[in-house]
Amino acid sequence: MNRLAHETSPYLLQHADNPVDWWPWSAEAFAEARRTNKPVLLSVGYSSCHWCHVMAHESFEDQGTADYLNEHFVSVKVDREERPDVDAVYMEAVQAATGHGGWPMTVFLTPDAEPFYFGTYYPPAPRHGMPSFRQVLEGVQQAWTTRREEVGEVAGKIVRDLAQREIVRQAAEAPGEQELAQALLGLTREYDPQRGGFGGAPKFPPSMVLEFLLRHHARTGAEGALQMAVDTCERMARGGIYDQLGGGFARYSVDRDWTVPHFEKMLYDNALLCRVYAHLWRATGSDLARRVALETADFLVRELRTPEGGFASALDADSDDGTGRHVEGAYYVWTPAQLRDVLGDDAGLAAQYFGVTEEGTFEHGQSVLQLPQTEGVFDAEKIASVRRRLFDARARRPAPGRDDKVVAAWNGLAVAALAETGAYFGRPDLVEAALGAADLLVRVHLDEHARLARTSKDGRVGPNAGVLEDYGDVAEGFLALASVTGEGVWLDFAGLLLDQVLVRFTDPATGALFDTASDAERLIRRPQDPTDNASPSGWTAAAGALLGYAAHTGSEAHRVAAERALGVVKTLGPRVPRFIGWGLAVAEALLDGPREVAVVGPGPDDERTAALHRTALLGAAPGAVVACGTPDGDEFPLLAGRTLIDGAPAAYVCRGFVCDLPVTDPEALRAKLA
């Protein structure tokens, strides 16, 4: 009996009809393994993972393979997005044993959940030096039945080795000028000056590093930092990694030139990049940055928003190519003939504008749309018509599948991005979308003890506890929403979450942070990783939110916790700056103060107050927090004792609750935030 039919994870539900007798990750699954004296096959993936779908079709949907698995193994299927803790622990083992990792992740465990054999994707037949999945299963089964003692020794050694892989010892204090300068130098050495970005193929959008570069420029005026951010953002926005018709970014580029993406679109990438481009516009006034920020925000609302107001996790890379085959990129790519079918006489113009050639830039003569030339040489009205017609035609193609589960952390990132983008560009609809997602997080994910659930689907809360990144990213979103809306309730909710971080995720002796709570399910080790991956690590996300909350409230406990957490950035920032970009960005905020801006006015509809409020939000000071309200309002501690000046709205710029003289003119406020 397959037990996945009642799960909330779309990835698990995709396997509910497999002939494999799947179990979800549970104590019952391991009890069954002990009862039957069988090893456990742990298969970890996620809904929009291309090779996960391939292996499912080749092996898990195959009756013969399923029969062998059901006879000799207890098979456990895990959605890595629902259980990042399980994924992290066993991925660490896979990488330590093989030197690489990836998904699907295939791990064989004892009934005590100790790993003894590892891999990722296995083909149905031997290929390119890889054994077939059936060969692997037979080999593991033989070892389990004939060399059990050896298997136990291997598993025990792996668990002991993992237990000894403690987090790098963090410094006793947060990074200073020297460490941030060294981090910038390290990034400069890895920068690709011809193409933008860092390193070689595959190339991932360096969202958090870009945020650090923008903040470093804002604090120091370093033009080199700004130029790396500007050039990288332009190259990505002109490349195939960006959807030139519908907005939004694919997960990564398979080449160094940002031309051919891996076509899946993730919520976290697009939330982070929406915010980066909005901040780039704030720093430079770039029309390109403004367009990309707004198009990405519109993509989030149009294609990822759920009926309950949250945001879905991802869109698949694959879709039906019109022949019944699921093919990667089929929804997004074009041939010259397809352009002619849609555009007629305008096809040549579109091909030139979007870089569509007869040879193609992808597979089988198909091209990924790019912007290889400057838009100014084309007629803007004509191009707008072409884009609209191509977008409408593409909408009639079979759409990629959507993973509808709502992940708390990634929705927190989306709340922050949409709130700020809406405020910057006068788009109250985007702020309303942010409020809708925040409301869902409070109603569905947050319980009466201020504990977060990791996921929900269709308004139904999932079974898994939130991890550190959920608390950090959701608090970050709530803090951004408080600054944008002037509604102090979001500051209160952020405080509830961050108190949980202090009590349940922090080592009181060292200030180090753990990815799981002190009372969470015990795995073979308690995961703890401060490095950023495709999104901020829980460690750095929590540090940023703790610092922002302390700036809003004056809480010494939260500020000290942020400073202690940033000790790891002092250690890692100069060594691996690409992999701790958000931590570096938070460190920039700490060095700047961060600044606290209190805007007081007679009421929410006063135009002069609104002008000061918007100016405060547009200030580029790293990590600045903004409180807006009336002098007698008690929603924000920053407003206490702040008064109007000669009856006029006023703005107070402070550090550590020590304020400069108030100003009543937006230009004067802008100068104070420079």
Q: What is the value of pTM for the model shown?
A: 0.95
368, 240 Cβ separation under 8 angstroms: yes
Buried b (16+ CB within 10 A) or exposed e, 38-54: bbbbbbbbbbbbbebbb
| Residue 593 identity (one-letter amino acid) | G
How far apart are alpha carbons 110 and 420 in whole angstroms? 48
Measured between alpha carbons, how far is residue 246 from residues 75, 242, 296, 301 in Å? 40, 9, 8, 12
| CATH tag for 177-316+403-592 (out of 1.50.10.10, 1.20.120.350, 2.140.10.10, 3.90.1150.10) | 1.50.10.10
316, 250 Cβ separation under 8 angstroms: no
Residues forming a β-bridge with 108? 41, 117
Which pLDDT value is given to residue 94?
A: 84
- Burial class of residue 459 in the structure, from the number of CB atoms within 10 Å of its CB (0-12 exposed, 13-18 middle, 19+ buried): middle
The single-letter DSSP state of residue 425 is T
Q: Which helix (H) or strand (E) holds 107?
A: strand 105-109
Report the interhelical angle of 267-284 vs 207-220 (nearest 10°): 20
Which pLDDT value is given to residue 166?
A: 61
Cα 35 off chain centre by: 40
Residue 386's contacts (CB-CB under 8 Å, 6 or more residues apart) are 343, 346, 349, 350, 353
- Here the tokens at position 101 are 């990792």
In this predicted model, what pLDDT tens digit does every residue of 242-256 receive, in sequence order?
999 999 999 999 999
Helix (H, G, I), strand (E, B) or coil at 106: strand
- Do the domains at 10-164 and 177-316+403-592 have one common CATH topology? no
CB atoms within 10 A of CB 128: 5
- Here the tokens at position 330 are 């089929």
Which pLDDT value is given to residue 1?
A: 65
Q: Which helix (H) or strand (E) holds 441?
A: none
Q: Is 599 left (phi over 0), alpha (psi -120 to 50) or beta?
A: beta
639, 577 Cβ separation under 8 angstroms: no
Helix (H, G, I), strand (E, B) or coil at 326: strand
How far apart are alpha carbons 617 and 606 in whole angstroms? 17
| Residue 365 identity (one-letter amino acid) | G
Q: Alpha helix (H) ranges present in 1-147? A: 10-14, 27-36, 50-55, 63-72, 84-98, 133-146
| Residue 155 identity (one-letter amino acid) | A
How far apart are alpha carbons 349 and 373 in whole angstroms? 12
Query: From the first residue on, what is the mean pLDDT of each consecutive set of 10 residues in the chain (674 residues)?
Result: 86 94 96 97 92 92 96 96 94 82 93 93 88 94 93 88 69 92 97 95 97 98 98 98 98 96 96 98 97 98 98 93 87 97 96 95 95 81 95 96 96 98 98 98 97 96 96 98 97 98 95 96 92 96 98 97 96 96 98 97 90 97 97 89 94 94 96 92
Q: Which residue carries 């869902």 as its tokens?
A: 440
500, 545 Cβ separation under 8 angstroms: no
Which pLDDT value is given to residue 171?
A: 77
328, 50 Cβ separation under 8 angstroms: yes
Which pLDDT value is given to residue 615?
A: 98
Which pLDDT value is given to residue 483?
A: 98
Of the candidates 26, 75, 171, the residue with the CA atom closest to the CA atom of residue 463: 26
How far apart are alpha carbons 143 and 166 in whole angstroms? 31
Report the interhelical angle of 287-299 vs 408-424 (nearest 10°): 130
Domain chopping of the chain, boundaries: 10-164, 177-316+403-592, 332-396, 596-672
Of the chain, the end-to-end C-alpha distance in Å amounts to: 63
Of the candidates 265, 251, 264, the residue with the CA atom closest to the CA atom of residue 318: 264
54, 62 Cβ separation under 8 angstroms: no
How far apart are alpha carbons 287 and 444 in whole angstroms? 38
598, 650 Cβ separation under 8 angstroms: no
645, 662 Cβ separation under 8 angstroms: yes
How far apart are alpha carbons 648 and 68 in whole angstroms? 78
What phi, psi does 599 have (nearest 5°)? -115, 120
Residues forming a β-bridge with 598? 627, 652
**CA dihedral angle for residue 427, residue 428, residue 434, residue 440, rounded to 10 degrees:** -150
Buried b (16+ CB within 10 A) or exposed e, 152-187: eebbeebbeebeeeebeebbeebbeeebbeebbebb
- Here the tokens at position 384 are 């707008």
Which pLDDT value is given to residue 265?
A: 97
Cα 83 off chain centre by: 15
CA dihedral sign of residues 34, 36, 41, 43: negative
Q: Which residue carries 């004067």 as its tokens?
A: 668
Of the candidates 194, 263, 168, 252, the residue with the CA atom closest to the CA atom of residue 580: 168
Cα 158 off chain centre by: 30
In this predicted model, what pLDDT tens digit does every residue of 466-517 receive, in sequence order?
999 999 999 999 999 999 999 999 999 999 999 999 999 999 999 999 999 9
Q: Which residue carries 């750095």 as its tokens?
A: 540
How far apart are alpha carbons 426 and 312 in whole angstroms? 25
The single-letter DSSP state of residue 304 is I
Measured between alpha carbons, how far is residue 362 from residues 242, 259, 265, 329, 405 in Å? 15, 9, 18, 9, 31
| CATH tag for 10-164 (out of 3.40.50.2300, 3.40.30.10, 3.10.590.10, 1.20.1260.10) | 3.40.30.10
Residue 93's contacts (CB-CB under 8 Å, 6 or more residues apart) are 107, 115, 118, 158, 162
